Amino acid sequence: MVKMRILVADDDTHLCETVKRGLEESSYAVDCVHDGEDAVYYAEVTPYDLIVLDIMMPEKDGFEVCRILRSKNFATPILMLTAKDTVEDRVKGLDTGADDYLIKPFAFPELLARIRALLRRDSVSKPVFLKVGDLVLDPVTMEVKFKEKLVNLTSKEFAILEFLMRHPNAVVTRTMIEQHAWDYDFDSISNIVDVYIRKIRQKIDPVSGKKIITTIRGAGYRINAL
């Protein structure tokens, strides 16, 4: 199964690592950052399924991070996680675009429950299928078909193909693929993405009769919406 990916932004490094460990034990892929500027940067370069965002952070606070992301039309669910517990702060957080608000200290099972609820709510607004030409991918059942012919992929191959299909006709770099399919602390092997792309091609091209994924020399890969 493809892991849901979560960004945790909190300047409390101990809490951040504790939350990261707990979420990973619950089968989420997690990245941690400790200031607002990094939170914005990570959110812009990586397609997260959810962001857990502390308010009191250096560089940019959580309110500003939330405003920036929403102003750029990021629809990713945002859960504010903070010690600021006044009604005014909660209202401000929600008004800047947060989807939910959890007060520190909190029980980890409640954090998990709120994350699950936000992910369920977000899944309703996402398209059921991804379609590029005659290639169709179902994120729920993890089935890939070309003209109704089933293509059997491993979970990692599926994650990479899904990422490409969410960016049709766009050049996607190897680094972007690595950051989507593996955690940021993944010990990258220089040609690991090339290996997986080759495996995907070996499974799709014989069925499609044409080259769906194009190599852009010196840049990355592009899936062709033909």
pLDDT at 71 over 50: yes
pLDDT band at 189 (very low <50, low <70, confident <90, very high): low
pLDDT band at 1 (very low <50, low <70, confident <90, very high): very low
The HSE-up count of residue 169 (CA atoms within 13 Å, CB side) is 5
Q: For the chain, what is the mean pLDDT?
A: 85
Burial (0-12, 13-18, 19+ Cβ within 10 Å), 114: buried
For β-strands 50-53 and 29-33, DSSP reports them as: unpaired
Structure tokens at 32: 């941690």
Categorize the per-residue pLDDT at 190 as very low, low, confident or very high, splitting at 50, 70 and 90: low
| Average pLDDT score over residue span 131-145 | 85
130-223: which CATH topology?
Answer: Arc Repressor Mutant, subunit A (1.10.10)
Encoding tokens for residue 21?
């460990």
Read off the pLDDT of residues 46-61 as tens digits, 9 standing for 90 and up: 888 899 999 999 999 9
Pairing of strands 220-223, 172-173: antiparallel
Q: What are the tokens at 181?
A: 């399919």
Amino acid (one-letter) located at 200: I
Length of the chain: 226
Distance of CA 118 to the CA centre of its chain: 14
Question: How many whole angstroms separate alpha carbon 218 and alpha carbon 134?
Answer: 28
Class of domain 5-125: alpha beta
Residues of CATH 1.10.10.10 domain(s) within the chain? Answer: 130-223
> What is the DSSP annotation of the chain?
-PPPEEEEE-S-HHHHHHHHHHHHHTT-EEEEE-SHHHHHHHHHHS--SEEEE-SS-SSS-HHHHHHHHHHTT----EEEEES--SHHHHHHHHHTT-SEEEESS--HHHHHHHHHHHHHHHHHHS-S-EEETTEEEETTTTEEEETTEEE---HHHHHHHHHHHTSTTS-EEHHHHHHHHS-TT----TTHHHHHHHHHHHHHHHHHSS--EEEETTTEEEE---
| Cα atoms found within 13 Å of the Cα of residue 9, Cβ hemisphere only | 31
**Is the pLDDT score of 180 beyond 90?**
no
Instruction: Report the candidate in 56, 66, 119 with the shortest Cα–Cα distance to residue 93.
Output: 66
CB 42 within 8 A of CB 71: no
For the chain, residues classed under CATH 3.40.50.2300 are: 5-125
